[in-house]
Amino acid sequence: MNLSLSRQRLDFWTVVTIAIIVMLSLLLVLPILRVLLLGFIDPDTGNFTLGNFIEVFTRNYYVNGLKNTLFVGVLGTVGACLIGVPLAFFTTRFIVRGKALISTLAILVLVSPPFIGAYAWIMILGSNGVVTNFFGNFGLDIPTIYGAHGIILVFSLKFFPFIFLMTQTALNAVNKSLEDAAENLGCSPWQRFYKITLPLVFPAVSTGAIICFVLAIADFGTPAILGRGFRTLSTIALSAYRSELGGPPTMAVTVSILMMAISMLALLAQRRILSKRRYASSLTNLPVPVRLKGWKNMLVHVLSHGIVILAMIPSAVVVYTSFLKTNGPVFVGGFGLESYQRIWRDAPEAITNSFVFAISAVVFITIASGLISYVIVRRETRAAASIDFLMMVPYLVPGVVMAIGFVTVFRNGFPDVFSAAALLIMIYFIRRLPYGVRSTTSSLRQIKPSLEEAAVNLGATPLGAFMKVTVPLILPGIIVGSLMSFITAINELSSTLIIYDSGTITMPVQVYVAVLDGEFGIAAALSTILLLSTGACVYAVFRFTENRDSAFL
Amino acid sequence: MASVEISGLRKLYGSVVALSDINVSIPSGTFYTLLGPSGCGKTTLLRTIAGFHSQSSGDISVEGRSIAHLPAHQRDVAMVFQDYAVFPHLSVRDNIAFGLKQRRIEANEIRQRVDQVMEVVQLGKFANRMPHELSGGQQQRVGLARAIVVRPKVLLMDEPLSNLDAKLRVDLRAELRRIQQDLGVTTIYVTHDQEEALALSDVVCVMEGGVIQQAASPLDVYLRPANRFVASFVGSNNFLDVDCSGAEAALKCGGEQVLLDLPNQHSGDAVCAIRPEDITVVPGKGSSASDRPEISIPVRIKEVSFIGREMEVFGVTEHGETLKSVSRSDPSVIDLPLDSDAQFCIERHNLSFFEKEPLGGRIG
């Protein structure tokens, strides 16, 4: 009797829960712990030390990196808010033609490869950029894009869609009676906005801002391409890692810990702020967009469309450039397919590698996110709660950090059983898993548990009920989650840069290398392929979701 | 068709006792209803029988064979859910066939049995509809058909009618009873609706605080409630304090005391229970005499509400206790002004007595 009891407790979902915990411990917790541990070890003696941190906080090289990171992170976020919040206000409170187009373009900006913005702006505003040369012809020396202001510009234009989409959702949910009441009590429209509406959507704005900030400080491609001596923690971590090859990556790891600490602190700060502001919204009185007249109407339209067009310029430039006639790295005027011929001849493996790695990772993500979501949503155990928590961690750990952790665990510690390809698939899997889990989880929360109980009650095993009832019902969520993880996996740059070797180069890495070599034609052609696959996925996501915008957040 | 035996069942959530000392014996073919307020443990008990919760101790057996440690999908106890739980991605036919396919029954037989059961629950025309094209009542018919088509040993129903509107609830209720009797399937039914419980059941099992208070026929539960809780939960009841200080127990009626013939000479505090429908309202002052077969309690009229076939009269006794009467509408009473005097008359044999505490047992 005792035996059968314990056997019954070890049911299917318990086994799955254990398997998930083991997997997350190996692929997520262990690498991060290794990074943390290495930061406190003296590379020469192997003893415990705080010396690495003392060095980071005293040497100008690192201190400036920290200052620079916070500087571009904060200002990039502020810039994104200054663009995103007004845009959200315009599209929800006024009748703006082409609202769907604005949202779609914002989403395309959001999912397009992060480094494209940086190098496309070089082609426009760089030392040999189109606009720079145009003004140069008139003897005007306009400031180039390189340095902090360029990075801030790129961050603002790249990350504003988070703020825009989240604020838009929140603004749509504000009870109009509250705004009416404010007006009735004597507020002018402007007072009403900043005294009532803005505070009500503040939780959404701050959530969006934290996402921007975390992504901005973790971003590697933009400062690497636009920095020109302006170093941030992520570029410092990578060069430290490169210079420490062969020994323990102590300084790379110490800088990494600093980056993680900043992300964590930002998140904790936001949680603290939000915990005091919980506004239950009752959707009794939905806001009605107002039709503006005359110059105000013009202004709102010009601003709304102008913002998204400006943000789309990099992608347009990239696609345009890819079709320019080239001779080697030089654009010779006119159109041609030389860039595509060159990547086909010189770098076909970058294309196949990118797709093979991303698709393999997504296959595992699809399976794992179905199982993980079920455990998180349906099992009210402490294990389920900790899995739910762990699913937040990959968002907070910069790619450079995760990759260094991976290398220290699976290269230097283990016998060398994992090829670079396997490591890349593993790291894409663990870093992009949360996208799949989040989408699947929100689908699953809509499904009544009684449906699975009914299936079990009618004789289906737990796995049978999951496959026959749960999976078909959450399939749209699974597909959207898989597409989102595919988009983010195929555009991954920072951790790939640390792990890849000669046989495993991917498209983003090839773009990065090409940009550094001044091969803008190749970079543009590869980026266009990335943009195309990303666009195709976005289209597919639109087909599978009712609420288009929220799928991407 | 099978008997169900539950013995010594206990269910704990941490230190919270959800079910305690549940002993139930259900003969084959019985319509057995678990009735109680929300949180009384009735749904927990049903879900434990279905295998969705595991018991902390005790045993559940069907046809003498223990199912207490079988996983839910092997128990062969079909359940009808409160929220229908009709699979939204399957047609009506595929929903009903789900359990049969699970049992690897041959396709031809599945078709026959599904067709047959769809006639029984009047869903014949809807075989190829998807669930979202059905009303709530039709969805619940699918839920019922899906459960009975597998010919389960026991049919479990968790408030199957509570999400339906009032008219439909009454119609489907009669149909449920008819189908259950035709099939003769042992049925355990959970509800908080006492009218539903009384109308449907062979046995009504009243629960409170995770404990069975009384399990008996509807008539017994209503006419001879086992304790004060059952008396107050099933039907409505007035409770008047009984004065047990003297040599003989007495009810205070105005200035006088009406001596009561309390059975078994009870010691300790007691209450007297009077059903509202047993009270007749007589306008004006009267006198009560303890030797009459009828007691009359002088009250002042507090509220009279005319609700059609019946009227409800609320009166306050001289000791401040409010009594409710329900009786055939009588214009001479309905026109009574507030605060006028009246007599509430009750025949002695309609009185019952309980110990005063909330779960106090019946006296006599």
pLDDT tens for each residue of A63-121: 999 999 999 999 999 999 999 999 999 998 889 888 888 988 888 888 888 778 888 88
Using a CB-CB cut-off of 8 Å, the residues of chain A touching B147 are 457-458
What pLDDT, in 10s, does the model give residues A492-506? Answer: 998 998 899 888 999
**Residue A81, in any domain of the structure:** yes
Residue A128 reports pLDDT greater than 80: no
What pLDDT, in 10s, does the model give residues B123-179? Answer: 989 999 999 899 999 999 999 999 999 999 999 999 999 988 888 898 899 999 999
- What was the pLDDT predicted at A126? 81
Q: Are residues B252 and B209 in the same domain?
A: no
Residue numbers of the domain that contains A183? 51-312
Task: State the pairing for strand pair B77-80/B154-158.
Answer: parallel
A472:B89 CB<8 A? yes
CATH code at A168? 1.10.3720.10
Task: Name the average pLDDT for chain A.
Answer: 86
User: What is each CA distance from A243 to A41, A246, A249, A251, B135, in whole angstroms?
Assistant: 18, 9, 9, 10, 70
Q: How many CA atoms does the CB half-sphere of B145 hold within 13 Å? A: 29
Would you list which residues of chain A are within 8 Å, Cβ to Cβ, of chain B?
1, 4-5, 8, 11, 448, 450-451, 453-462, 464-465, 468-469, 472-473
- The answer to whether A477 and A405 have CB atoms below 8 angstroms apart is no
- What was the pLDDT predicted at A6? 40
- The answer to whether B91 and B100 have CB atoms below 8 angstroms apart is no
Output the pTM of the full model: 0.80
Task: State the pairing for strand pair B352-355/B362-363.
Answer: antiparallel
Output the six-digit token pair for A24.
């997350």
Residue A8 reports pLDDT greater than 50: no
Helix (H) or strand (E) holding A149: helix A148-172
Average pLDDT over residues B51-77: 92
Query: How does residue B255 score in pLDDT terms, banded at 50, 70 and 90?
Result: low
Output the six-digit token pair for A531.
């943009």
- What was the pLDDT predicted at A200? 84
Using a CB-CB cut-off of 8 Å, the residues of chain A touching B154 are none
Q: Are residues B129 and B258 in the same domain?
A: no
* Amino acid present at B250: A
- The answer to whether B198 and B328 have CB atoms below 8 angstroms apart is no
Average pLDDT over residues A185-199: 80
- The answer to whether B45 and B60 have CB atoms below 8 angstroms apart is no
Q: Are residues B273 and B342 in the same domain?
A: yes
Q: Are residues B16 and B145 in the same domain?
A: yes
Q: Kindly state whether B132 is in contact with chain A, defined as any CB-CB distance less than 8 angstroms.
A: no
Q: Which residues in B49-58 are b (16+ Cβ under 10 Å) and which e?
A: bbbbbebeeb
How far apart CA A484 and CA A480 sit, in angstroms, is 6
CATH code at B243? 2.40.50.140
How far apart CA B233 and CA B34 sit, in angstroms, is 13
Q: Kindly state whether B80 is in contact with chain A, defined as any CB-CB distance less than 8 angstroms.
A: no
- What was the pLDDT predicted at A414? 57
**Residue A12, in any domain of the structure:** no
What pLDDT, in 10s, does the model give residues A218-251? Answer: 888 899 888 888 999 989 988 888 888 777 788 8
**Residue A497, in any domain of the structure:** no
By CA distance, what is B71's nearest residue in A? A8
What pLDDT, in 10s, does the model give residues A48-59? Answer: 888 888 888 888
- What was the pLDDT predicted at A353? 94
What pLDDT, in 10s, does the model give residues B277-326? Answer: 999 998 887 655 555 678 888 899 999 998 888 899 999 988 888 999 99
Closest to A455 (Cβ–Cβ): which among B50, B76, B98?
B98
Phi, psi of A447 (to 5 degrees): -95, 125
Residue B60: strand pairing partners: B6
Nearest to A393 by CA among A408, A405, A382, A381: A405
Q: Are residues B217 and B350 in the same domain?
A: no
- What was the pLDDT predicted at A546? 66
Q: Kindly state whether B98 is in contact with chain A, defined as any CB-CB distance less than 8 angstroms.
A: yes
- Sign (positive/negative) of CA torsion A522, A523, A524, A526? positive
Using a CB-CB cut-off of 8 Å, the residues of chain B touching A465 are 73
Q: Kindly state whether B99 is in contact with chain A, defined as any CB-CB distance less than 8 angstroms.
A: yes
Query: How does residue B266 score in pLDDT terms, banded at 50, 70 and 90?
Result: low
Q: Are residues B214 and B292 in the same domain?
A: no
Residue A4 reports pLDDT greater than 80: no
Phi, psi of A414 (to 5 degrees): -80, 160
- Percent of chain A at pLDDT above 90? 34
How far apart CA B285 and CA B341 sit, in angstroms, is 6
Helix (H) or strand (E) holding B9: strand B4-13
Please count the other Cβ atoms lying within 10 Å of the Cβ belonging to residue A180: 14
- What was the pLDDT predicted at B238? 93
Nearest to A345 by CA among A532, A521, A97, A203: A521
What is the count of residue pairs from A and B with beta carbons less than 8 Å apart? 74
More confident residue, A290 or A528: A528
Query: How does residue A415 score in pLDDT terms, banded at 50, 70 and 90?
Result: low
Q: Are residues B194 and B258 in the same domain?
A: no
B99:A459 CB<8 A? yes
A454:B85 CB<8 A? yes
How far apart CA A527 and CA A492 sit, in angstroms, is 12
Domain count of chain B?
Answer: 2
How far apart CA A120 and CA A540 sit, in angstroms, is 26
Please count the other Cβ atoms lying within 10 Å of the Cβ belonging to residue B297: 26
Q: Are residues B138 and B118 in the same domain?
A: yes
The last residue of one of the domains, among B231, B256, B279, is B231
Q: Kindly state whether B52 is in contact with chain A, defined as any CB-CB distance less than 8 angstroms.
A: yes
Task: State the pairing for strand pair B341-347/B294-306.
Answer: antiparallel
Residue B96 reports pLDDT greater than 70: yes
Task: Name the average pLDDT for chain B.
Answer: 89
Average pLDDT over residues A383-402: 88
The residue assigned the tokens 């049992």 is B103
Nearest to B146 by CA among B100, B96, B183, B184: B96
**SS3 state of residue B141:** helix
Q: Are residues B58 and B136 in the same domain?
A: yes
Residue A177 reports pLDDT greater than 80: no
CATH code at B30? 3.40.50.300
More confident residue, A145 or A223: A223
**Residue A335, in any domain of the structure:** no
Helix ranges, A25-98 (H): 30-39, 51-58, 60-93
Nearest to B239 by CA among B347, B353, B326: B353
What pLDDT, in 10s, does the model give residues B184-210? Answer: 999 999 999 999 999 999 999 999 999
Please count the other Cβ atoms lying within 10 Å of the Cβ belonging to residue B196: 21
What pLDDT, in 10s, does the model give residues A350-375? Answer: 999 999 999 999 999 999 999 999 99
- What was the pLDDT predicted at B6? 96
- What was the pLDDT predicted at A2? 38
Phi, psi of A333 (to 5 degrees): 90, 145
More confident residue, B263 or A362: A362
- What was the pLDDT predicted at A283? 56
For the ranges A183-187, A287-291, A428-432, which has the lowest average pLDDT? A183-187
Q: Are residues B227 and B247 in the same domain?
A: no
B69:A5 CB<8 A? yes
The residue assigned the tokens 């200002």 is A75
**SS3 state of residue B47:** helix
**Chain A nearest CA to B82, separation (Å):** 9
**Residue A203, in any domain of the structure:** yes
Strands, E assignment, B145-277: 154-158, 186-191, 203-208, 211-216, 238-242, 250-253, 256-259, 270-274
How far apart CA B54 and CA B363 sit, in angstroms, is 37
Nearest to B277 by CA among B226, B229, B311, B248: B311
Residue numbers of the domain that contains B42? 4-231
The last residue of one of the domains, among B165, B199, B231, is B231
- What was the pLDDT predicted at A544? 77
A457:B74 CB<8 A? no
Average pLDDT over residues B108-112: 95
Residues 6+ apart with CB under 8 A from A163: A80, A81, A83, A84, A85, A88, A205, A208, A209, A212
The last residue of one of the domains, among B231, B250, B276, is B231
> Is the complex ipTM higher than 0.90?
no
By CA distance, what is A464's nearest residue in B? B102
- Sign (positive/negative) of CA torsion A123, A124, A129, A134? positive
- What was the pLDDT predicted at B81? 92
Residue A5 reports pLDDT greater than 50: no
Q: Are residues B192 and B256 in the same domain?
A: no
Pick among A457, A467, A469, A473 to test the B interface (most B CBs inside 10 A) = A457
**Chain B nearest CA to A472, separation (Å):** 7
A448:B98 CB<8 A? no
For helices A348-378 and A507-516, the axis angle rounded to 10 degrees is: 130
**Chain B nearest CA to A383, separation (Å):** 17
- What was the pLDDT predicted at A279? 64
**Residue A175, in any domain of the structure:** yes
* Amino acid present at B346: I
- The answer to whether A171 and A197 have CB atoms below 8 angstroms apart is yes
**Chain A nearest CA to B116, separation (Å):** 18
**Residue A441, in any domain of the structure:** no
- Sign (positive/negative) of CA torsion A261, A264, A270, A276? negative
**SS3 state of residue A377:** helix
**Residue A188, in any domain of the structure:** yes
- What was the pLDDT predicted at A374? 93
How far apart CA A81 and CA A210 sit, in angstroms, is 11
What pLDDT, in 10s, does the model give residues A293-338? Answer: 889 899 999 999 999 999 999 899 889 888 988 877 778 778 888 8
Q: Are residues B289 and B157 in the same domain?
A: no
- What was the pLDDT predicted at A203? 85
Query: How does residue B260 score in pLDDT terms, banded at 50, 70 and 90?
Result: confident
How far apart CA B297 and CA B288 sit, in angstroms, is 7
DSSP string covering B96-137, please? HHHHHHHTT--HHHHHHHHHHHHHHTT-GGGTT--GGGS-HH
For the CA atoms of B72, B73, B77, B82, the dihedral, rounded to the nearest 10 degrees, stands at 70
Using a CB-CB cut-off of 8 Å, the residues of chain A touching B87 are 451, 454-455, 469, 473
